Chain A
Amino acid sequence: MKLTRTGLILKSAALSVGILTASSGFAGQFDGVTLRVATWGGSWKENMVQAIVPKFEALGGKIEFVTGSPQANLAKLIAARGKAPFDVMETLDAQEKEFFETNELIQKIDLSQLTNKEYLDDWQYNEWRVASWSTQEVICYNREKFAELGLPAPTTYKDLANEKLAGRVVIPDITSGGGFANFGAIAYAAGGNEQNVGPGLEVIKSLNSLKFWSRGGEVVTQFESGDVYAAVVHAGWCLRARKAGSPVDTVQPVITGTSHVGVGKYGWLVIPKHSKVPEAASWFINEYQEPEFQMLYAVKSGVVPTNRKSISQLASDPIFAEMLELDPAKIGNQLKINYQKADTSDWIDQWNRSVSQ
């Protein structure tokens, strides 16, 4: 079954209309409640506007969005001290330490509202956070260009240090969404770990005249224009490059020296401590797990859903099955950086010094 975006949009629209007509006329559970959601802008937010906002409005409430990257929103949260600038927030696994070391910033989620938990694994939710999505950080490469240059498909990061690829490789800037995960993975593959990233920096230096991307859209453009032959990105961007016409394939990188293949990056949903509407926030978090919404973002962005039903639905599409790793066992074997052990601020410092020109 080929999944199309329009098909999903129609389905969610139908569902929303159904809910609206069904519930019009009676006092909603969330009458007069305004829920502020901190998330990325652009089409990511549009997915929520399409799938979740109508349902909340049918219950009498209103959703407003605070757009920004998780880092920007975290900065706002910290600056806010005793107040909550928003009620539910998307965070990254890389921000674990900030949030979960002290629990000063967040409050408990009402898990009784999480009706979708039957579709989640145990590690994907607890009373402090619920998983939102995951991405698979892969090596995306242009198979035609590689064939022209007589190079075999890459299997790990070091393979990209080939001089024939000089200037044609991009990896994520450390400040981009995929920055920490990939940096940590490169460090691991070079023999380092969370506390010793030096070897990773050496490998990065060896990928000579390397460019760093901070916006995923850039990578898609650069594959198309022929600027780039290989990139370290999350599989979703590789998928988009393929749909844009570039002959690209994904490779789950082998983390040499470990048993891991592939790298997983996870997003979490949390509720800021001083939010006054935790019930609405918990409702939202549950809605996030609904298959309708999850498929919307999965198809658009190539991001892997959390809901098991959605993952298997995705696996029935050949392109997704090919470019993403959807076998649960293999997903379990992907490298997940343990941010409790990492000093990301030190990572950034070392990175800055090593790459500056």
Chain B
Amino acid sequence: MKTRWEYVLLPSFLIVGLLIVASQYVFLKGSFFKDLGLGRISDTATMVNYLRFFTDSFYLNTLWITVKTSGLAALFTLTLGFPVAYLIARMRSQWSMILLAGIVVATFVTIVIKVFGLIIIFSADGLFNQALMGLGIVDTPYTIIGNQTGVVVGLMHFTLGFGVLLLYSVIQTIPRSLEDAAQIHGASRWRMHLRVLFPLSLPGVTVGVLMIFNMCMGAFTSAALLGGGRVFTLPVLIQRTVMMEIKYSMAGTLAAVLLVTVLLINLLSIYLIRRLRSARLVIA
């Protein structure tokens, strides 16, 4: 007998779909109207907000900065996180749990606190600069606050914990025996990775990386605290527009653009990965 999985899906889909539609409707609807200041919105529908966005280099630059910092953060998180996830997944000793616990605990710490820790580390007389200057690499202190590097670092801290856990759960679904078999068969370690591990983990890793990317695109707290008020990503700008300028319409426009961009990038990535994928699912 065949289970009609579609029906199983339905209630969840309705709940989530309804919440998305309802909440966004109220907010985004406003984007098609003009702000009258003080949170009031005019009655006539107009595209003037969108026009303003796409003709203003400031807004377009903001979009670019958002995509750039999120992409870089996702890439670096993957680079740092994949080997760690692999290590924990393949480790046989009890230490793996301790390492995992370390990751989980790090993710519990609110980003606000982590940023404060980062500020202390990167301050002029903090550990990082002490080391740097002690080694003679630079003679004036280097700071990460107020530039895009800081934002990327903040985003990485925000997502690295999640990233490792996601990648870990993906890697340990790939049986170790496949790797062993490949190596016994004569493959060098790199070759084993390239031809066995990476292709098989690709679907899971894609989902993971996209999740990390999306988190970064929507991240407000890290970008706001480390951007130092100079780096404007769309979430930061949206928050300013809502809280400081109380222009709900323009904020809705910004949010709409952000949303559409993220969706497009997600769909594009999935499409590209499908095309590149050559490994098929095989369970021994």
Contacts and interface: CB of A to CB of B under 8 A. Distances in A.
A355 B229 CA distance: 8
B245 to A, nearest CB: 4
A331 to B, nearest CB: 28
B246 A227 contact: no
B29 interface: no
A2 interface: no
B146 interface: yes
A98 interface: yes
Q: Which of B146, B148, B232 has the most CB of A within 10 A?
A: B146
Interface string B92-105: 00000000000000
B164 interface: no
A260 B123 CA distance: 36
B230 A75 contact: no
Interface residues of B, number: 34
Nearest to A102: B38
A349 B245 contact: yes
B61 interface: yes
Given A214-B229, A348-B240, A352-B237, A226 B246 contact: no
A227 B124 contact: yes
A258 interface: no
Contacts of A355: 229-230
B243 A225 contact: no
Q: Which of A167, A211, A227, A355 has the most CB of B within 10 A?
A: A227
B247 A357 contact: no
A106 to B, nearest CB: 13
A229 to B, nearest CB: 10
A107 interface: no
A72 interface: yes
A175 B240 contact: yes
B275 to A, nearest CB: 37
A356 B230 contact: yes
A357 B231 contact: yes
A121 B91 CA distance: 73
Contacts of B229: 173-175, 211-214, 355
A345 interface: yes
B246 A345 contact: yes
Interface residues of A, number: 34
Contacts of A357: 146-148, 230-231
Nearest to B58: A353
A74 interface: yes
Q: Which of A71, A79, A222, A225 has the most CB of B within 10 A?
A: A225
B175 interface: no
A356 B61 contact: yes
Interface in A310-357: 344-345, 348-349, 352-353, 355-357
Nearest to A69: B243
A353 B60 CA distance: 12
A355 B62 CA distance: 12
Given A71-B243, A71-B244, A345 B231 contact: no
Nearest to A72: B243
Contacts of B146: 211-212, 357
B119 interface: yes
A217 B106 CA distance: 24
Interface of A: 69, 71-72, 74-75, 78-79, 97-98, 101-102, 167, 173-175, 211-214, 218, 221-222, 225-227, 344-345, 348-349, 352-353, 355-357
Given A175-B240, A212-B230, A227-B123, 9 more contacts: A71-B244, A212-B229, A225-B123, A225-B124, A226-B124, A226-B125, A227-B124, A348-B244, A352-B240
| In the A-B complex, the 10 residue pairs with the closest CB atoms | A212-B229, A173-B229, A345-B245, A78-B39, A225-B123, A227-B124, A357-B230, A71-B243, A225-B125, A226-B124
